[in-house]
Amino acid sequence: MDDVKQHESRKLTETITTINEQQQALAQIPRYYGKDIVEQALDDQRQQQRKRLEKAAPSPYFGRLDFSPEASKSTVPLYIGKAGVEGADGKDPLVIDWRAPIASLFYSFTGQSGTASYEAPEETITGTVHLKRNIAIHEQVLERVVDSYVEGDTASEGASDDFLLYRLEESKDHRLRDIVSTIQSEQDAIIRAEREKALVIQGVPGSGKTTVALHRLAYLLYHYQDQIKPEKMVVFAPNQMFLDYISEVLPELGVGDIQQTTFRDWALDLLDDASIKLPDPSRAIQQRFESDHETKAHTGSRYKESIQFFHDLEGLLDDYENTHLPDKDLRAWEGTHLSKETIRDWYEREYRHYPLLKRRERVHKRMKRWIETEHHSIREMDPRNERKKQANKQLQAFMKSWKRPTPLQLYKQFLSTLIKETPRRWQASNEDLAPLLLIYHRLSGMTSDSRFDHIVIDEAQDFSPIQTAILQQHCPSNSFTILGDLLQNIVPGRGITGWEEILDQFSEHQQGFYQLDRSYRSTMEIIHFANDIIHPFRGNVKPAEPVFRSGSPVKVTPLRQDSVQQTIQSLHELQSLDCRTVAVITRTEEDARILHQGLLNQGLATHLLTPGESSYQGGLSIVPIYLVKGLEFDGAILTDVDPDRYPEDAFHARLLYVGCTRALHHLRLFYREESSPLLAKAINHTKE
Ligand SMILES: Nc1ncnc2c1ncn2[C@@H]1O[C@H](COP(=O)(O)OP(=O)(O)OP(=O)(O)O)[C@@H](O)[C@H]1O
C-alpha cells in the first residue's frame, strides 16, 4: 500500500472509531416522550444526530479538499461526505456535509488555478486549494484513492474524470442513485442555485436532470431548513413506474416526506369528485402515443392546454362571478324586503376576498340573520310564526335560483362556449384536469395544505403551459425546478415546442435557464448514434456530448430468424456481457405483449412493462417505446426498426432518440427487411 493510501486508511479508522463512540454515547440516552418542549427539542436533535451517524457509518466521506483561506495561514483537510459528523468535544467537524457552503469548492474547483472561492453566509471566501482527492469507501473499506489536483503537480490534472469514469462504468441496479461523490460543476451550479426562481433546465438525455433536481431538493432543505419543509415540496413525474424508479434517491440523501406524484393523481385528489371519470391511465397514454403524429383530434387539445385557454376560462369565470348572483330582492313577508343592492353589496364588497362558494355561504347566513332581526321586531305573536315560515320559504327559493355548480358542471358549460364542436357525449380526459383545477380554485379557494414551498416538474417538455400556470398558483414563492428535453417530447399534440412557453409565465427576474449538454449515461458510440438520428430534427437544441467513455459499437442487424428466437439469443449475449438490466423496446404495447408471451412460451420469464405498471423491478424487461422515457438499462434492444414502424419524420426520430439513449453500455437494433430511413446516417457512421 502506498503512503497516501496508508495515510487515508488510518484516517478512515480514526473516523469510524469516533463515529462509533458518538453512536454509543447517544445509545446511552433514552428517548424523551414527555411534554417539556426544551427536552423535546433536545431529543429531536439527538435523533437527527443518530440518523446522520447511521448514514455516515458505512462510507463516511468521498472526498478530501485541502484549502487555506486567504485570511488564515493554516491549511485544514476537509473531508466531505453525505452527512456531516461533528468533531469530538466541539472540535472542527470531522466530516462536512456535501451541501455545506465550503463543500461547494469540491465540486466547482476544476484545477485550472489553485485559487478558489465559495459563498459563505455573509461573504465570499477566497483561498488556495492544495489538494483535491476522491476517496471511494465501501462498507467501511477503503477501495480507491485518486488525486484529481495536487498543487504543483501537473500529472494529476484530469484525474477527476478517471474517477467519474470509474463510477460510470459500473453496472447499475434498477433504481436511480445519488451522485454526491461525482457531481459535476455545471450540475452543482443548478443544485445550489437561488431558491426563489423558476429554473428551467434543458438537458440532453442522461445529463443528470432528474438526479440533479433531486439533489437540489436535498440542498434546499439543508440550506433553508428554517423556511421550507419537506412536506411542502413536491416532485411531478410522468408515471408511477418512473416514480418507483427514482424513489431511492431522496432517502439515500437523507431526505424524507417529499411528495412524489403525477399531475393526474394530484389533481384528482384535490378535485375529490367521483363524477370526474377519466379513461384508465394506460388507455389514455396508449391512445395518444400510438396514434402517431399530430392528428386533427390533437388540435383541440393544443388549445385546451394553452395559456390562451387559461385566459379565456378566466374571462368566463369573471363573467360568471358578475352574473350568477340572482338579481332580485328577498321578500320576507308583505311590506318587508331586503334589496338586491344590499345583497350585491355584501357579495361584491364585503365578502369579496372569499372564493365564490364561500361567498355564497356567507351571504346566505347574512340573509338568515337579517330575517331573524326583522322577525324580532314584529310585535303581535300570531302572525309571527306564520311570517317566519313564509320568509324561510322565500329564502329557500332565492338560494335555489343561486346555483352552486361543481367545477365539472361549470367547465362543461364553458366548453360549449369556447369549443363549439364539443361532442354530445363528452368525456373528461387528462388535459381537462388543469382547467378543472382553475375553476375549482375560483369556486372553493385553496387551502394552505395545497400550497408548496418548491415544485419539481420532471419531463416538463410533456407538460402543457396551462398545467404550469396552475402549479404557479400553488407556489406563491415561484420556486420551481423544471426540467426536460425538447427533443424527447414524444406525446403527439402535447407539451411545449420551446421553453419560452414556460419561462414567459414568470417575470424576468424570476427566471433562470440552464442547459446541460454532457451526457453521463451512455457510451460515446451510443450517443453518436443517437445524435445522428435526431440531427435533421434538432432545431436549435445542442447535440449531446458524451463523456469520454468508449464501449462496444452499436449493432443494427436484420432479423435472421424468428423474432422470439432472436430476442432470446440477444438477451443471452447481453447477459454474458455483464448486463444486469436489459430492455427489449417495442414500437407498440401490443408488440410488447406478443413478444413477452412468445418468450414465456419458450420458458423465458421477463417483466412486461405497461402503462398501468406501478413498479420497475430491473432484470429483463419488455417495454413499449413510449414508456421507457426517464429509465435506463445496461443494454437495450430495439425491435422492428422498419420504415413502416418508424417512418422518416420528427415524431419517430424523437421516439428512436429516446429509445436509443436508454442504453448505458450496449445497444442493438433489429429490422425485418429494410431498416428505417431514420437510421441511414447512423448506420453509415458505424461502418466507418
Ligand atoms: N455527475 C454524475 N456522476 C455520476 N453519474 C452521473 C452524473 N450525472 C448523471 N449521472 C448518471 O447518468 C444517468 C442519467 O441521469 P438522469 O437519469 O438523472 O439523467 P436525465 O438527464 O434525467 O436523463 P433523461 O433525459 O434520459 O431522462 C444516471 O445513471 C446518473 O446516475
| pLDDT tens digits, one per residue of 49-101 | 899 999 899 999 999 999 999 888 788 899 999 999 988 776 788 999 999 99
- Percent of the chain at pLDDT above 70? 93
Check pLDDT > 80 for residue 255: yes
Residues of each domain in the chain carrying CATH 3.40.50.300:
189-288+429-516, 524-687
- CB 520 near ligand 1, within 6 Å: yes
Instruction: Go through 161-193 and write b for each residue having 16 or more CB atoms within 10 A of its CB, e for each that does not.
Output: bebbeeebeeebebebebbbbbbbebbbebbbb
Is residue 664 helix, strand or coil? strand
pLDDT (tens digit, 9 = 90+) per residue, 127-165? 999 999 999 999 999 998 988 888 877 666 656 677 888
pLDDT (tens digit, 9 = 90+) per residue, 302-326? 788 888 999 999 999 999 999 889 9
CA–centroid distance, residue 519 to ligand 1 (Å): 7
The highest-confidence range among 224-228, 280-284, 528-532, by mean pLDDT, is 528-532
- Average pLDDT, integer, range 108-127: 84
The answer to whether 204 is a known ligand-binding residue is yes
- Cell 413477452 belongs to 596
Q: Minimal CA–CA distance to 244: which of 627, 663, 666, 664?
A: 627
- CB 459 near ligand 1, within 6 Å: no
**C-beta neighbour count of 256 within 10 angstroms:** 11
- Average pLDDT, integer, range 286-294: 55
Taking the C-alpha atoms of residue 170 and residue 622, their distance in angstroms, rounded to an integer, is 23
The answer to whether 203 is a known ligand-binding residue is yes
- CB 246 near ligand 1, within 6 Å: no
Check pLDDT > 50 for residue 658: yes
The answer to whether 38 is a known ligand-binding residue is no
Q: Minimal CA–CA distance to 529: which of 369, 679, 318?
A: 679
Taking the C-alpha atoms of residue 193 and residue 366, their distance in angstroms, rounded to an integer, is 50
pLDDT (tens digit, 9 = 90+) per residue, 427-474? 888 889 999 999 999 999 988 888 999 999 999 998 889 999 999 999
pLDDT at 289: 59
For the domain made up of 524-687, give the CATH fold: Rossmann fold (3.40.50)
pLDDT at 60: 95
Nearest atom in ligand 1 to the alpha carbon of residue 211 is: 18
pLDDT at 108: 87
- CB 658 near ligand 1, within 6 Å: no
- CB 241 near ligand 1, within 6 Å: no
Taking the C-alpha atoms of residue 179 and residue 183, their distance in angstroms, rounded to an integer, is 6
The answer to whether 207 is a known ligand-binding residue is yes
Range list of β-strands (E), 477-517: 480-484, 511-516
C-beta of residue 591 within 8 angstroms of C-beta of residue 219? no
Nearest atom in ligand 1 to the alpha carbon of residue 183 is: 1
pLDDT at 294: 43
- CB 207 near ligand 1, within 6 Å: yes
pLDDT (tens digit, 9 = 90+) per residue, 160-183? 677 888 878 776 677 888 999 999
Check pLDDT > 70 for residue 1: no
pLDDT at 662: 96
pLDDT at 615: 86
Check pLDDT > 90 for residue 10: yes
Interface predicted TM-score of the whole assembly (ipTM), two decimals:
0.99
- CB 245 near ligand 1, within 6 Å: no
- Average pLDDT, integer, range 490-501: 81
- CB 331 near ligand 1, within 6 Å: no
Mean pLDDT of the chain: 89
Of 165-169, 224-228, 412-416, 451-455, the least confident: 165-169
Beta bridge pairs of residue 129: 67
The answer to whether 210 is a known ligand-binding residue is yes
The answer to whether 104 is a known ligand-binding residue is no
Taking the C-alpha atoms of residue 441 and residue 90, their distance in angstroms, rounded to an integer, is 51
Report, at the CATH architecture level, how domain 189-288+429-516 is classified: 3-Layer(aba) Sandwich (3.40)
The answer to whether 445 is a known ligand-binding residue is no
Q: Determine the residue of 211, 246, 523 to mutate for testing ligand 1's pocket, defined as the one with the most ligand atoms within 8 A of the Cβ atom.
A: 211
pLDDT at 169: 78
CA–centroid distance, residue 631 to ligand 1 (Å): 10
Check pLDDT > 80 for residue 296: no
- Percent of the chain at pLDDT above 90? 59
Taking the C-alpha atoms of residue 180 and residue 63, their distance in angstroms, rounded to an integer, is 10
pLDDT (tens digit, 9 = 90+) per residue, 197-216? 999 999 999 999 999 999 99
pLDDT (tens digit, 9 = 90+) per residue, 553-565? 999 999 888 889 9
- Average pLDDT, integer, range 621-633: 92
Q: How confident is the model at residue 295 (pLDDT cuts 50, 70, 90)?
A: very low
- CB 183 near ligand 1, within 6 Å: yes
Is residue 558 helix, strand or coil? strand
- CB 521 near ligand 1, within 6 Å: yes
pLDDT at 285: 59
- CB 659 near ligand 1, within 6 Å: no
Q: Determine the residue of 490, 520, 581, 658 to mutate for testing ligand 1's pocket, defined as the one with the most ligand atoms within 8 A of the Cβ atom.
A: 520
pLDDT (tens digit, 9 = 90+) per residue, 568-608? 999 999 999 989 999 999 999 999 999 999 999 999 999 99
- Average pLDDT, integer, range 368-394: 80
